[in-house]
């Protein structure tokens, strides 16, 4: 079997002998005398994994399990999309210190891919404080950094605060609309909480200049205002936090690993935190919790947490988001990413398509 698409500039031919699952993609550019092998691709499985009679009965606007195991949020769909019944969630918080456009990195991929795990999260929650004035530019940079496998599903900006949710593209059909936010099993609370270490600076510095081990950080945390307040039952009841095995994240001199050298000489502290609460114990497991030391454009270091979240079949009549996401940001971000990484450069004056791409 062979099919071919051709115009005056390029052509693509897909050939198969009908006996195996592989096809050979050949391309012909202007000036070529013959089709040449380009790459080999394996045919994708059928998208609809059910028969046509069951498909006609599915309702993919409401996530109810009333229709049985085959409903959108039912056990059959859960087993198909998440065989392990778990999803990876990456949460990051960063106080950006209100930078100008040229004062923070073009490439922010460290915010997303700093975990030592080789697994890529399906859900990324980004919490930012003191964001720059150019809000649209920030969104595009973040999308360009995370890449085409994830989309900006939703975001909220209030003054200098921003919360963004990036999802793996496949999940946009399984996500509830924003009007369903009163129903939850897990809460993440992340940000610059401004809790300080109640030690004089010289004591903290002496501890940090010795060998930095887990016991060093444990000693610092005995004077941490957040942990003290939680132990007294005054703040964040039922919230948990991953174990801190990294140095304080505030306050640094800009573009430096030196703690505050100004006249105020603030005591290094763990101001940037990620807390979580779950309705059922064991639903969330913190796999990694650390600071990102490579981003130094702020007086705060970003902090991230990498979590395993157990899933269960849905049981509510929840209105789904029906595949919505911020398409304009997705296109702008990935166009910028392509210009950064793609070795192919098209002439700016060209008015006709000269490259045909199959993905």
Burial label for 1, CB within 10 Å (0-12, 13-18, 19+), is exposed
pLDDT at 71 over 50: yes
pLDDT above 70 for 163: yes
Q: Which residues of 43-70 are buried (b: 16+ CB within 10 A; e: fewer)?
A: eeeeeeeeeeeeeeeeeeebbbbeeeee
Q: Residue 23: its pLDDT value, please?
A: 36
The pLDDT value recorded for residue 16 is 39
Residue 181 has what pLDDT? 54
Q: Is the pLDDT of residue 31 over 80?
A: no
Burial 155-194, CB ≥16 within 10 A → b, else e: beeeeeebbbbbbbeebbbbbbeeebeeeeeeebbbbbbe
- Non-local CB neighbours of 221 within 8 Å, separated by 6+ positions: 227, 244, 270
Give the strands of the sheet with 284-291, arranged side by side.
150-158, 161-168, 123-129, 86-95, 303-310, 284-291
CB-based contact 207:218 (threshold 8 Å): no
Look at residue 33 in the predicted model and tell me its pLDDT.
40
Whether pTM > 0.85 for this model: the answer is: no
More confident residue, 124 or 26: 124
128 neighbors 161 (Cβ within 8 angstroms) = yes
pLDDT value at residue 42: 40
81 touches 170 (CB < 8 A): yes
Residue 32 has pLDDT above 80, yes or no: no
Least confident span in 92-101, 195-204, 290-299: 92-101
Predicted local confidence at residue 58, as pLDDT: 58
Q: Work out the average pLDDT over 68-78.
A: 68
C-alpha 24/C-alpha 241 separation (Å) is 51
For residue 254, name the pLDDT band (cuts at 50, 70, 90): very high
pLDDT of residue 179: 61
Predicted confidence at residue 80, as pLDDT, reads: 81
| Best mean pLDDT range from 57-61, 67-71, 308-312, 330-334 | 330-334
Q: What is the rounded average pLDDT for all residues in the chain?
A: 80
What distance in Å separates the CA atoms of residue 9 and residue 30, rounded to the nearest whole number? 6
Helices (H), the chain: 52-55, 75-81, 135-146, 201-209, 214-221, 225-231, 327-341
């Amino acid at each position: 079997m062979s099919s071919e698409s051709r115009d005056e500039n390029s052509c693509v031919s897909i050939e198969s002998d009908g006996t195996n699952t592989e096809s050979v993609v050949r391309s012909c550019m202007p000036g070529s005398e013959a089709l040449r092998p380009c790459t080999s691709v394996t045919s994708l499985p059928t998208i609809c994994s059910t028969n046509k009679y069951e498909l006609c009965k599915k309702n993919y606007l409401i996530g109810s399990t009333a229709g049985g195991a085959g409903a959108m949020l039912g056990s059959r769909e859960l087993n198909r999309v998440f065989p392990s019944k778990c999803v990876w969630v990456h949460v990051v918080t960063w106080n950006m210190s209100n930078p100008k456009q040229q004062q923070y990195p073009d490439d922010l991929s460290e915010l997303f891919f700093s975990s030592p795990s080789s697994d890529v999260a399906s859900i990324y929650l980004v919490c930012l404080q003191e964001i720059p004035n150019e809000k649209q530019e920030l969104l595009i940079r973040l999308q360009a950094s995370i890449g085409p496998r994830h989309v900006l599903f939703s975001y909220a900006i209030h003054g200098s605060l921003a919360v963004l949710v990036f999802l793996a593209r496949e999940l946009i059909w399984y996500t509830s609309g924003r009007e369903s936010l009163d129903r939850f099993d897990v809460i993440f609370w992340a940000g610059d909480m401004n809790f300080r270490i109640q030690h004089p600076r010289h004591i903290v510095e002496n501890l940090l200049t010795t060998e930095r081990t887990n016991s060093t950080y444990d000693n610092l945390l005995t004077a941490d205002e957040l942990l003290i307040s939680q132990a007294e039952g005054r703040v964040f009841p039922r919230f948990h936090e991953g174990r801190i095995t990294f140095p304080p994240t505030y306050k640094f001199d800009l573009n430096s690993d030196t703690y505050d050298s100004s006249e105020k000489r603030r005591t290094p502290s763990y101001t940037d935190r990620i807390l979580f609460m779950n309705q059922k114990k064991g639903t969330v497991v913190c796999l990694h919790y650390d600071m990102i030391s490579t981003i130094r454009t702020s007086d705060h270091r970003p902090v991230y947490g990498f979590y395993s979240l157990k899933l269960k079949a849905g049981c509510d009549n929840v209105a789904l988001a029906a595949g919505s996401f911020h398409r304009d940001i997705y296109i702008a971000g990935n166009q910028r990413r392509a210009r950064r990484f793609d070795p192919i450069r098209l002439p700016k004056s060209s008015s006709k398509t000269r490259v045909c791409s199959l993905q």
